[in-house]
Amino acid sequence: MVNLDTKYKDAIWIAKSLFERGKVSGSSANMSFLHAGNIYITGSGTSFGALAVKDFAVVNMKGEHISGIQPSKELPLHKIYYEKSTSIQAVIHTHSFYSTLWSCLNHKSTTDMIPSYTPYLKMKLGTVGLIPYAKPGSQLLFNIFAERVNDSDGYLLQNHGPLVGDKDLMSAFYCLEELEESARIAWELRNENIDVID
């Protein structure tokens, strides 16, 4: 079992990497991981650019606050993701640019909405579903996500941003990176209005 210090170290490195490369800004992101039966989640109003151990809240699997600062208002999204499968041990949510752009379009499929122009998104994450818009942090958003969580492997919250989970923080980070890159490729090909080889 990976110790808590290592998980914190990975979380802080991921946050810094995303912030320094412009994948997140301000306090517009949150992440969590499981440890010893509890959820460790970034606190409300924290910034990935200056994330530290003190910026995590600890809650139990019922969502009850155990220690640390106030958890992110989007904690229920993380909790629902963890309840989907015991294989999910870390969750990351951002407002990254191309994923958010792609979430604003109309799509034929709401369960597999990013074209497979390269094989890597399917290899790392799987299908990406669209969660219809509801106000961030709202009970309506949580209800919609709970209804659709089993339909896809990763998600784009409409007009909001990506939400991914995996077996550990670094794996979730790699999935998030591949999702954003796949959304960028899809967006660029859409704007070029060119034929793509099938």
- Domain residue spans of the chain: 4-192
Q: How confident is the model at residue 48 (pLDDT cuts 50, 70, 90)?
A: very high
Coil vs helix vs strand at 120: helix
As annotated, the active-site residues are 74, 120
| Averaged pLDDT of the chain | 95
What is the reported pTM?
Answer: 0.94
Give yes or no for residue 25 having a pLDDT over 80.
yes
Mean pLDDT computed over 41-59: 97
What Cα–Cα distance (Å) separates residue 194 from each residue in 54, 108, 118, 180, 190?
49, 19, 16, 21, 8
DSSP designation for 122: H
Give yes or no for residue 69 having a pLDDT over 90.
yes
Q: Each residue of 181-194: pLDDT tens digit?
A: 999 999 999 866 54
Q: How far apart are CA 128 and CA 132, in angstroms?
A: 13
Q: Which amino acid is at 188?
A: E
DSSP string, 95-106: --HHHHHHHTS-
Architecture of the domain whose range is 4-192: 3-Layer(aba) Sandwich (3.40)
Q: Each residue of 77-134: pLDDT tens digit?
A: 999 999 999 999 999 999 999 999 999 999 999 999 999 999 999 999 999 999 999 9
Give yes or no for residue 196 having a pLDDT over 80.
no
Q: How far apart are CA 101 and CA 162, in angstroms?
A: 10
Give yes or no for residue 76 having a pLDDT over 50.
yes
